[in-house]
Structure 1
Amino acid sequence: MPEGDTVWNTARLLGEAIDGRTIARSDFRVPRLATADLSGWTVAESACRGKHLLLRLEREGRDPLTLHSHLRMDGAWRTYRPGERWSGRPAHLIRVALHTDAAVAVGYHLHELDIVPTREEARLVGHLGPDLMGADWDAAEAVRRLLARPERWIADALLDQRNLAGIGNLYKAETLFLRGVSPWTPTGDVTDLTAMVERAHALMNSNRGRFTQVTTGSLRRGETTWVFERAGQPCRRCRTVVRRWTGGDNDRITYWCPHCQPGALPPRG
């Protein structure tokens, strides 16, 4: 499930494969970009902002460009050696392929795929809050944004990328569990929001360099999370059955332990 750490790790792997390389041929498989041609452009940097991936491109005598993509729930980038079979996903899901002399970067099921002048990146990501994976992470600013709507459920507030960028359902559920906070607590009633956002920051950054998302400290299969995707199973701390609820903003899934996260309950019906 792509969240900020997955996108950061994807950018790092793309960077290792194609940063500094000149694109010999590009192949876009979305109607809007069908005639786009990036051949001759050099990949200056593979970067990310929240859940957005930004491939910054340079070419002598031209203004820099950015190839922007969003992974959402099912997007992915894979890299292959020239001539290697593209075995990552079905071919009909390919949205773009960038061929260089060292590697081919292939984007599968990408969303919001676009090419913009790099100077206009803010139009795509300028609305985002502090980036949990970024060098400019600012916990105080994240708290300020969260408190702008104190009546909002904390579960919904954490998922709002305008408050803090990169967090998704997994880190939302795990952060709330580890802080002992009910997902339906009004944001303004949460004790020590700074500690909460710093916990999310620490959890996500602990998974830099690996695609397995771990919050418990155990890499063993079935032991990587506290409550996420564990509905109907006993809580690892108190043995109460972990529960699941769907609703709130954008009808998102929430996992929680009623004993370890006391307080407000989800609405009925």
Structure 2
Amino acid sequence: MPEGDTVWRTAHRLHQALSGEELVLCDLRFPEIATVDLTGATTTEVVSRGKHVLHRLDNGVTVHSHLRMEGQWRVERADESGRWLRRADLRAALGTTQWAAIGLRLGMLEVLPTAREGEVVGHLGPDVLGPDWDPARAVDNLAADPQPVGSALLDQRNLAGVGTLWASESLFLERLHPWTPASQVPRERLESLVARISKLLDVSRLHAVQSSTGSRRRGEEHFVHARSGRPCRRCGNTVRVAMIGRAPQDRTMFYCPICQGGLAPDDDGRTQRPMGSAGGRANPYRRT
């Protein structure tokens, strides 16, 4: 699922292409809004809120979208938009005389009054990349959460924009065990963790390749994320993956048991194949 830095960059790109311009193309392919016509309205701004995209128009409505697992917004030249409109995975097309915003495989799309945006994003905690970012409030939220700290980071009510990649990487860099209850982590360590997350996302929002290592060369971008079964870059032991959180909201968490204080509660320690290795493609977390 795209994380806050990717969604911020998406909204920024849409804003640059569409803001201040009148819409001459509107094709919304979600059943509930398929008949909505926004042509003639002018884009005032496109912003991100955590993992949500809010496309605001001067007629008082907002196009709200969420990319979920596979969605994306593309910006294409208006004179080339025709081929995109024929795609089976098209969910939205909003265009001006120069540019077209093409929404593919969007997980959520709705049109609502801008004054009611709070109904869809009001539950979110402070946005790591937003104007409302408040690290002290984020720390307070985490400190009050009895969930494992890895799950607490993924709970968008605590702070908005963090997904499994940045949760795994920040916890590794801070040497924190992901399954330690957040409320039991010393406050100074939560403050360091939140500062680390803020720095990682702030740097990453400016780049197409997400990296925590400083390298954007393929295979060198991350310390633990998607590196289960491979050597830890810090200690040389084996990076592992386990599920964190309660089903059906549980998510994958990558970690180093040596650097981060032991195995996950449900990790039996058996050998895990490296992701993408022969025999492991169907299920990269399969154990042998």
TM-score range, shorter chain: over 0.9
Unaligned runs of 5+ in 1: none
Matched, 1:128 2:124: yes
Q: Deviations over 1:107-135 (max 9, x none)?
A: 11112211111111111101000100112
CA distance in 1, matches of 2:184, 2:117: 35
TM-score normalised to structure 2 length:
0.88
Q: Residue 34 of structure 1: CA displacement?
A: 1.0
Distance 1:148 1:188, change over 3 A: closer
Aligned to 1:105: 101
CA distance in 2, matches of 1:173, 1:202: 15
Aligned to 1:195: 192
Q: Deviations over 1:10-50 (max 9, x none)?
A: 01111111111100120111111110000111010010100
Confirm or deny: 8 A CA contact 1:185 1:263 kept in the other structure. Answer: no
AA partner of residue 23 (structure 2): I
Matched, 1:93 2:92: no
CA distance in 2, matches of 1:95, 1:172: 30
Mapping 1:62-77, distance limit 5 Å: 64-77=60-73
Aligned to 1:3: 3
Percent identity between the aligned chains? 46
Q: Residue 88 of structure 1: CA displacement?
A: 7.7
Matched, 1:248 2:239: no
User: Could you tell me which of 144, 148, 157 is aligned with 2:144?
Assistant: 148
Matched, 1:220 2:203: no
CA distance in 2, matches of 1:90, 1:3: 28
SS where residue 66 of structure 1 aligns? strand
After superposition, the CA RMSD in angstroms is: 1.7
Q: Deviations over 1:170-194 (max 9, x none)?
A: 0000000000011111112223211
State the aligned residue count. Answer: 264
Q: Deviations over 1:49-72 (max 9, x none)?
A: 00000000003xxxx111000011
TM-score normalised to structure 1 length:
0.94
SS where residue 209 of structure 1 aligns? coil
Confirm or deny: 8 A CA contact 2:169 2:223 kept in the other structure. Answer: yes
User: Could you tell me which of 199, 202, 207 is aligned with 1:205?
Assistant: 202
Confirm or deny: 8 A CA contact 2:26 2:38 kept in the other structure. Answer: yes
Give the structure, 1 or 2, with the largest relative contact order (CA under 8 Å, sep 6 or more): 1
Confirm or deny: 8 A CA contact 1:215 1:226 kept in the other structure. Answer: yes
Distance 1:259 1:268, change over 3 A: closer
